[in-house]
Amino acid sequence: MLGKQRRIETINAAMAGTGFWDNQDNARAMVSELRQLNAIAKPLSALVASSGDMQVLIEFAADDDSGESERELAQLVESVQEQLAALELQEMMGDPEDVCGAYVTLQAGEGGTDAADWAEMLLRMYLRWAEEHGFAAEELDRSPGEEAGIRNATIAIRGSYVFGYLKGEIGVHRLIRISPFDSAARRQTSFAAVDVTPEVDENVEIDVDWEKDVRVDTYRSGGAGGQHVNKTDSAVRLTHIPTGVVAACQSERSQTKNKSTAKKMLIAKLFQIERDKREAELAAKRGSKTKIGFGGEPVRHYVLNPDQFVKDARTGLRVGNPQPVLDGKIDEFLEAYLRWKLGKS
């Protein structure tokens, strides 16, 4: 802890000095390192401070007949327990990229219009989760469905340990419900795939020949139309030809800015694929040949009819009310996955 605090002080001193940004690559690397160090050091510092406050309250409580100090102590103990639980989860997220923000990509699978609608429901779920935790979220790319929902979409969620929390969401998610798009009100099974990659620094070492290995396509950004419709081909799609990995962005009016963001996304995806080679399970889920439909292996089932529940196929966790989950209350599933994964390692 002491070594981390000294490093934080060193980086802060460098940032306050003149010429820090003269070498932008080095500056960005130091800012990224500072973010990772603070994500660890700040919670530990808060816990140390709370332990000191607890000792003081214990002494006060011995001479306080009103019971006020005991009540304050009980509240502080509850707060410390929550802080310890949060630190325990951070301990489970030990990979360097776990502290990063994340790109979350959703793709509709088998199920027609219902699948497109299901993909948009999942998109809303992750946006609500980000909002509840105070994380910044930005939509980078969206391809609407023909009748409803989305064919695919990518969002960036930025904050400490976002990737660490969401990496267990990778895979196929399966929905069973009465279709709102079927006039006969029949049950429909729909599938959508979720991919999560860390928002790593674009200067990470990735061997890419940007001239030969990457195809650049431009297209017109989607929108609601009217006077604000984008009339230029500002959206950018980058395809890494050797792997087939695609990154697209249409959030900006500027083609240059969209290309820069798409490049960062592509670097992040290639970086994670390299790391996933150590974990065949994740690599298979992220691969382009994963079946998003019947015959595949969903990581989670969301059942709205006739029963109502959400069940994770890996951890076995099951909750009986799907609506809060679809409203972004997914922490129980995220934490269960981290503990399950730790137990398998």
Residue 245 to residue 237: CA distance in whole angstroms: 11
Query: Are 76 and 187 within one domain?
Result: no
* Other CB atoms within 10 Å distance of the CB of residue 119: 30
Which of 46, 73, 92 is the last residue before a domain boundary?
92
Query: Are 76 and 119 within one domain?
Result: no
Residues of the chain with pLDDT under 70: 1-4, 32-33, 36, 39-40, 202-203, 222-232, 278-291, 295, 345
Two tokens at 277? 């080679």
Residue 138 to residue 68: CA distance in whole angstroms: 45
**Domain carrying residue 31:** 2-92
Query: Are 186 and 293 within one domain?
Result: yes
How confident is the model at residue 287, as a pLDDT? Answer: 53
Two tokens at 222? 């989607």
pTM to 2 decimals?
Answer: 0.73
How confident is the model at residue 313, as a pLDDT? Answer: 95
Query: Are 87 and 104 within one domain?
Result: no
Q: In a 3-state reduction of DSSP, which class is residue 72?
A: helix
How confident is the model at residue 144, as a pLDDT? Answer: 93
How confident is the model at residue 142, as a pLDDT? Answer: 94
> How do strand 214-219 and strand 245-249 relate by DSSP bridges?
unpaired
Predicted confidence (pLDDT) per residue in 253-298, tens digit: 889 999 999 998 999 898 888 877 766 655 555 554 456 777 678 9
Question: Phi and psi dihedrals of 238, rounded to 5?
Answer: -110, 130
Query: Are 112 and 76 within one domain?
Result: no
> How do strand 136-144 and strand 300-303 relate by DSSP bridges?
unpaired
How confident is the model at residue 2, as a pLDDT? Answer: 59
Query: Are 138 and 223 within one domain?
Result: yes
How confident is the model at residue 224, as a pLDDT? Answer: 42
Closest among 195, 135, 200 to 162, alpha carbons compared? 135
How confident is the model at residue 249, as a pLDDT? Answer: 93
Cα dist from 107 to 150, 318, 334, whole Å: 8, 24, 20
Query: Are 66 and 138 within one domain?
Result: no
Helix (H) or strand (E) holding 141: strand 136-144
Residue 63 to residue 100: CA distance in whole angstroms: 47
215 DSSP assignment: E
Closest among 115, 166, 179 to 137, alpha carbons compared? 166
Residue type, position 231, single letter: K
Q: In a 3-state reduction of DSSP, which class is residue 94?
A: coil
Two tokens at 33? 């390192």
How confident is the model at residue 3, as a pLDDT? Answer: 65
* Other CB atoms within 10 Å distance of the CB of residue 27: 15
Query: Are 24 and 71 within one domain?
Result: yes
Two tokens at 93? 């997220």
> How do strand 171-178 and strand 187-198 relate by DSSP bridges?
antiparallel
Which of 65, 92, 119 is the last residue before a domain boundary?
92
**Would you say 153 and 119 are in contact if contact means Cβ atoms under 8 Å apart?**
yes
Query: Are 77 and 52 within one domain?
Result: yes
How confident is the model at residue 227, as a pLDDT? Answer: 39
| Span between the terminal Cα atoms of the chain, in Å | 25
Query: Are 238 and 272 within one domain?
Result: yes
Which of 49, 70, 92 is the last residue before a domain boundary?
92
How confident is the model at residue 34, as a pLDDT? Answer: 78
Query: Are 68 and 163 within one domain?
Result: no
- Answer left, alpha or beta for residue 340, where phi above 0 means left and psi between -120 and 50 means alpha: alpha
Provide the number of structural domains found in the chain: 2
Token look-up 């360097």 returns 96
How confident is the model at residue 20, as a pLDDT? Answer: 83
H runs (alpha helix) in 173-279:
255-276
Query: Are 73 and 176 within one domain?
Result: no
